[in-house]
Structures are given as C-alpha cells and as structure tokens.
Amino acid sequence: MLVAGIGLATFVLLLSFIGPLLWPVDPFALGPHSVLSRPSLAHPAGTDDLGRDSLARLISGGATTLTVAIPSAIIAFLAACFYGFAAALGPAWLDRLLMRLLDAILALPSLVVLIFFAALTRLDAAHLAALLGLVSAPSLARLIRNEALAQRERDFILAARQLGASPFYIARVHLLRVMAPILVVNATFLVGDTILALSALSFLGLGVQPPHTSWGGLLESGLTVAPLGAWWLIVPPGGMIFLAMLAASLTGRGLLARAGDRL
C-alpha cells in the first residue's frame, strides 16, 4: 500500500513539475482553428472551448494546485502542532479557552469557512495557501492536544518536568519524538485534505482565479461544455484529483500500518 501510494505521488508530482519540459506547449495559447477537438496526436488530451491544449493546461493546473496545497498542508501541520501543544502543556485556563474556541470553529464545515473568507476578499495564491492551512488545522489540533495530554502523564515526561524542563523543551524533545508516527501519518492525510479543499474552492470559482489554471477550475470549465459531450475536458482533471487523493490516502494508510506496532 505504501509503495503504491508513493509511486502514485511520484507520478503526480513528476507530471506537474517535470511535465512542462516533456510537453512544452503554451497552456494559454488560443487555437481558433481547433476549438473543442477530440484527443489526437497533436493534442493528446484534446482542446477546450477556446482551442487551448488540454494536456498543457492539465500540467500547469497541477503545478498551481500542488504549489498551493502542499505549502498549506505544511502550514496546517505547524499551526495544529503549535495550537495542540500550547493547549496541552499550557495552564489549564489556556487549554479551556483554546478548546472552546476550537468548538466554535469546528461547528462550521471547513468548506463553509473557506467560502466565507473567499467572499470577504479575493485571495492571491499566498493568502489562499495560508487561509487553507489555517482552516484545515482544527481537527488535527484537537487530536494532537488529546494525544499530548495522554503522553504528558508518562513517567519520563513527569521526570523531565520535575527536573524543571520548560514546556517548549518537553514539546520539542520528548513529545515530537514520541508522537512522530501519528504526526507523520496525519500530515500525509492533510495533503489529501488540502488538495480536495482547494479543488472544491476553485471549482466554485472562489479559489485559484483565472488566468491561472487548477484542476478544480479546469473541471468546472469542462462541465460548462458537458452538454456538448466533451468528456476529455472532464475526465482528466477529475482523474488527477482522484489520483492525488488516492496517493495521499494510500501513503497515509501504508504508514499507519507500518507504525501500527509502534503506536
């Protein structure tokens, strides 16, 4: 499972980032003479309603999607670690305050929060990555806090506290090491979550804005010409999201199975 997941992830990453070298076609070049043409040798994935090459757009959409989604997964992971450890190791009132706040935030599905923010201001790629990261963090933050609370009572950490170690030292040296397996597994799942959230947001026209391409945006524009039966504009972007999610999920589950006896 782990091997399949890593293999798929490599494929998706290579296609998106090395792809432009192998298929050096301009994704924005209009082709007035080849509007909505079926897949052929000249256009292996066909062309869209403005005659642009779909394969080139798929590759550039992948690069955009992954350069936003992967950093935002890292932001989400760091934010969740910070929040969770602060709640678990800080004073009791801080824990209570942070958890109440989390309850209120978790009452809203993350997609609804994203739509709310995207409506307030139009976001560029950097802000989008930051927002996506912060919105994806809460449930992992709670998981880390609960796990850290349980680990905190173990003898070696009690001993470290007796010796006067600061909460930062305990989090950095002890908790990060003990919780490494569970953290790595959840970080992998986070990448899948952010890819899905970004694609949904772009699909709704609130994420990556044109002229930039993204898998979600490509799928949306493909669906507008669905009545013409242009399957080659719908299946490839949807399939890429599927493969990326499958890669994250398989890798995460594979790691979980490996870590099973260490948890």
Partner 1 sequence: MPPWARTALSRIATAALSLWILVTLTFFLAHLTPGGPAYAILGMRATPVGVNQVNMRLGLDVPLWMQYLTYLGHLCTLRLGYSFLLNQPVAHLIVMYAANTLLFTSLSIVVGTLAALAIGMVQGASWNRWPGRLIGAWQLATYATPSFFIAGMLVLVFASTLGWLPAGGITDAHMTEPGPLSYARHLVLPVATVSLIVAASLSRYFGQSVAEELERDYVRTARAKGLGLRDILRGEVARNALRPFITLLGLYLPALFAGSVVVETIFDFPGLGWLLWHAALQQDYPTLIGVVLLIGALTIVGNLAAELANAALDPRLRSRTLA
Q: Which residues bind partner 1 (CB under 8 A)?
A: 100-101, 103-105, 107-112, 115-121, 192, 196, 199-200, 203-206, 216, 219-220, 222-223, 226-229, 231, 234-235, 238, 241-243, 245-246, 249-250
Tokens of 92: 């009791």
**HEC string for 221-263:** HHHHCHHHCCHHHCHHHHHHHHHHHHHHHHHHHHHHHHHCCCC
Of 121, 80, 73, nearest to 98 by C-alpha is 80
Nearer to partner 1, 183 or 201 (CB): 201
Q: What is the DSSP code (8-state) at residue 43?
A: S
Nearer to partner 1, 73 or 175 (CB): 73
Min. distance of Cβ 244 from partner 1 in angstroms?
Answer: 8
Min. distance of Cβ 178 from partner 1 in angstroms?
Answer: 25
Nearer to partner 1, 58 or 175 (CB): 58
Residues 94, 100, 103: CA angle, nearest 5 degrees: 140
Min. distance of Cβ 192 from partner 1 in angstroms?
Answer: 8
Min. distance of Cβ 29 from partner 1 in angstroms?
Answer: 26
Cα(69)–Cα(202) distance, rounded to whole angstroms?
12
Min. distance of Cβ 27 from partner 1 in angstroms?
Answer: 21
Residues 6, 131, 179: CA angle, nearest 5 degrees: 50
Nearer to partner 1, 105 or 182 (CB): 105
Nearer to partner 1, 89 or 248 (CB): 248
Of 126, 251, 255, 106, nearest to 191 by C-alpha is 251
